[in-house]
Amino acid sequence: MARAEIPARERLIFAMDVQNADAARRLADSLDDSVSFYKLGLELFTSGGTFELLDWMVGRGKRVFVDLKFFDVPATVAGAVRNLRNRGVTFATVHGNQAIMEAAVAAAGDVGILAVTVLTSLDRGDLDDMGFQCDVGALVLSRARRALAAGCAGVVSSGLEAKLLRAGVDDRLIVVTPGIRPVENRPTDDQKRVMSVPEAFVNGADYIVVGRPIRDAADPRAAAEQIQATIAGLFPHR
């Protein structure tokens, strides 16, 4: 199971993958207290008004994870991360080499830096196409160890590799797991390496990221509460 002491209801991070800030506010209003932690991704962040949305969410007592997967020369990444400081951002992601991770951490201030290991939309065939000949688990472990050495707060990793991370990397490293599917994965889903809520936490995830199963539900708040109930059953005293 996950090691970090985290309130159970904060272990669910909702991926706010909507087109603009107005839609995000409406959805957050409808979710109300069923979600306390939100991920703001690339599409939403480039739609305009996102810093105002960030301030609005933080002002409502929400935690925010900025998932932009910074990948550029280290100085540019450091400048981008610095712009997130002192705004109430809990986590931000980087997707790069040692120098990029170290630059992000040095500039982070109160922002926890998460290093992306292997995207959950990639499978073995995709990694072969990209020139990675090593085993997926070995690649995840290597990147996680480098993230820890760089001073990152944690990593973003599939729940399929979370058990490997718990066995092979220091427990201080936070594991955030996307690609969570409470029901059977759809054939059209672009997430390939997926896992259920209980499986992810049993394997060692600290947080799970859930998007479409909540956003596209007939009743998003009820869907979120159902996941929260599952988490509460796994962490009854937190």
Say how many Å lie between the first and final Cα of the chain, rounded.
13
Annotate 23-46 with DSSP letters as a single string. Answer: HHHHHHHHHGGG--EEEE-HHHHT
Q: How many CB atoms lie within 10 A of CB 73?
A: 12
42 Cβ contact list (under 8 Å, min separation 6): 67, 68, 69
Beta bridge partners of 66: 40, 92
In the set 39, 62, 69, 163, the catalytic residue is 69
Pair of tokens at residue 65 = 């994870």
Q: How far is it, in rounded angstroms, from Cα 162 to Cα 140? A: 9
Q: Any catalytic annotation for residue 69?
A: yes
Question: Active-site residue numbers?
Answer: 69
